[in-house]
Amino acid sequence: MFFILAIVLTLVSDVLIFKDFQAYYIYISILTNLCIICYILTIRNYLHKNKLRSLLSVSVILSLGLVVYLIFSLLKVLSLELTNAPLILTSLATIGFIIYFISAGIIYLKSMYNNAVVLLISVIAYFFQLIFSIINEFIYFERILTALIIVCHIGSIYLLMKFLLEATIIDHKIIEN
């Protein structure tokens, strides 16, 4: 249900993006926030309350640090370009995306599903799509970035759908405990 709603929100957002990204930025940001919330609600059933084996490994900490640094740097640059309302909506979308990213990372790290890496790749593609969209519209416009944004966008949705359709539990005993 939430995935279908996210697809509809994405469709409306894409129409507004192609009409005029900067003029409709507030609406696009609201739709993106709602879409991220729908994605989080979609994958929440794949989170289980068993213990994580390797949450604080070096690679996890470095990856999370890199993502937070990229987001912080982009928000810092955007603070020079955007007024208060769009910047607040962008910050809310960033917080929502971080929650989505961490949720997908936990699902991946628990190693409970046969294709959890597909979900992680989907979230990373969504991250690139968001980052490149903002860079392309507010900082440096380039047509090649537009093509890359579309590829990341379609790939992200496809991979999330693939995960949702094909995810099977590797070991049922882990969930029962």
pLDDT at 123: 93
Higher confidence at residue 151 or residue 71? 151
pLDDT at 39: 93
- Once rounded to an integer, what is the mean pLDDT over residues 104-121? 88
Q: Residue 154: pLDDT band by 50, 70, 90 thresholds? A: very high
Rg of the chain (C-alpha set): 17
pLDDT digits (tens, 9 = 90+) for 70-111: 888 877 887 887 778 888 888 888 888 888 988 898 888 887
Q: Residue 122: pLDDT band by 50, 70, 90 thresholds? A: very high
The reported pTM is 0.81
Residue 121: its H or E element: helix 116-134
pLDDT at 49: 66
| Sign (positive or negative) of CA dihedral 122, 125, 131, 137 | negative
- Statement: residue 157 has pLDDT above 90: yes
Mean pLDDT, rounded, of the chain? 84
pLDDT at 11: 92
Domain boundaries, the chain: 2-176
pLDDT digits (tens, 9 = 90+) for 5-41: 999 999 999 888 888 888 888 898 899 999 999 999 9
pLDDT at 46: 85
Instruction: Note whether 164 and 42 are within 8 A (CB).
Output: yes
Q: Residue 172: pLDDT band by 50, 70, 90 thresholds? A: low
The amino acid occupying position 162 is K
Q: Residue 121: pLDDT band by 50, 70, 90 thresholds? A: very high
pLDDT at 118: 94
pLDDT at 98: 87
Question: What whole-number distance in Å separates Cα of residue 169 and Cα of residue 163?
Answer: 12
pLDDT at 2: 92
Of 161, 168, 121, the residue nearest 3 (C-alpha): 161
